[in-house]
Amino acid sequence: MAEFTMELSDEQKEVRDWLHGFAADVIRPAAAEWDEREETPWPVIQEAAKVGIYSLDFYAQQYFDSTGLGIPMAMEELFWGDAGIALSIVGTGLAAVGVLANGTEEQIGTWIPQMYGDANDVKVAAFCSSEPDAGSDVASMRTRAVYDEAKDEWVLNGTKTWATNGGIANVHVVVAVVDPDLGSKGHASFIVPPATPGLSQGQKFKKHGIRASHTAEVVLDNVRVPGSCLLGGKEKLDARLARAREKAKKGGERVKNAAMATFEASRPAVGAMAVGTARAAYEVALEYAQTREQFGRPIIDNQGVAFQLADMRTSIDAARLLVWRASWMAINGKPFTAAEGSMSKLFASETAKKVTAQAVQILGGNGYTREYPVERMHRDSAIYTIFEGTSEIQRLVIARTLAGMPIR
């Protein structure tokens, strides 16, 4: 087990500085353009692929960092550059992790390379879980997968929503209900290969922020996929369903919803994204306060401005520490007995919204214009308190965990 330390290793610092350089030199100069275009920034993703950032190898190296700090460090730096473009770069990782966590070795080797493509022909992937009536309430999922034993195929029907890269992805990973009587225990994940008939893009959402990231509905109309596209295989699924049915007969157990437990472990990464955006806005506000003069002196000499900056920096550092703690706990198998994953996401996301709003206020009229990036950062920050569990859901998870109650 890696000992907890507040000091990054030399290797971690080197990776951090490399990512920071890419964010400063490649992502930031392109941020305003792609936010206005509201399109996937393919040229930037390609540049990330060329240097090795957009790849499974890089993501895996950070994911398996024994300190747990690889992923949050990477997320903070990329999202410091720009949230929309960064999400376009890391969005494929959601689908890749789904396959890594549940797939067989053959499935991992077959599908993950197709998710990324290569530097000359980059591809993206989509993870499709949320539905119009089933966001945080995963037990209400309606997308069905029915097994056609005669053809050894699964038939998928339903509509997914809020899917990053949905419809434009080369590979889609779709969560569907295989046994509705078991609630969330009756779910399974499926690979939908490229150009599979019946899968189409529904509505593309025009968003308030993170506009360089493609978000859309995915419609599944009698989508047939081979039996080999069931992640983990049918034998493993049948065994899992049998255990769930047996527990249900005995009256069930007061255990965490499996999907909610997975979200709990991944939420620190979202917290790190929020920290990156908050830090970026704080740095712009700090520099502006040091150079902008009113009444013959820099506005940072004003206690009202200086105290805001002090609070902003304190909140950012506190959010980062919560993210690092939860990330260290996750990689070392420490149970989140107080929902520390949700704590980190809740505090960091709320911090991002507050800090970016304060940055706009410090810049005054300039902060309200698109000539300065804090306006975009403020819009981008709104998503952190919504996706991967709203702030209200985070508080519910924390409260139920502290009370020893099941999380449904």
Average pLDDT over residues 262-282: 88
The pLDDT tens digits for 63-82 are 889 899 999 999 999 999 99
Classified by CATH at the fold level, domain 125-249 comes out as: Butyryl-CoA Dehydrogenase, subunit A; domain 2 (2.40.110)
Residue ranges per domain, the chain? 10-122, 125-249, 258-403
- Across 357-379, average pLDDT: 97
Tell me what pLDDT residue 158 has.
96
Q: Tokens representing 184?
A: 């969330």
Superfamily for 258-403? Butyryl-CoA Dehydrogenase, subunit A, domain 3 (1.20.140.10)
The winner for highest mean pLDDT among 59-68, 256-265, 314-323 is: 314-323
Q: Is it true that domain 10-122 has CATH number 3.40.50.150?
A: no
Which pLDDT score is estimated for 310? Answer: 98
The answer, yes or no, to whether residue 157 has pLDDT greater than 80, is: yes
- Cα of first residue to Cα of last residue in the chain, in angstroms, is 31
**What is residue 4's predicted lDDT score, i.e. its pLDDT?**
58
pLDDT at 314 over 50: yes
Same fold, 125-249 and 258-403: no
| CA 75, 104, 158, 192 torsion-angle sign | positive
Residue 258 has pLDDT above 60, yes or no: no
HEC per residue, 199-213 = EEEEEECCCCCCCCC
Q: Which residues are part of the catalytic machinery?
A: 388
The pLDDT of residue 136: 64
Please state, rounded to an integer, the average pLDDT across all residues of the chain: 92
Q: Cβ-count burial of 57 within 10 angstroms (0-12 exposed, 13-18 middle, 19+ buried)?
A: exposed
Give the 3-state secondary structure of residue 279: helix
Give how far Cα 164 sits from Cα of 43, 91, 249, Å. Answer: 18, 6, 38
The residue count for the chain: 408
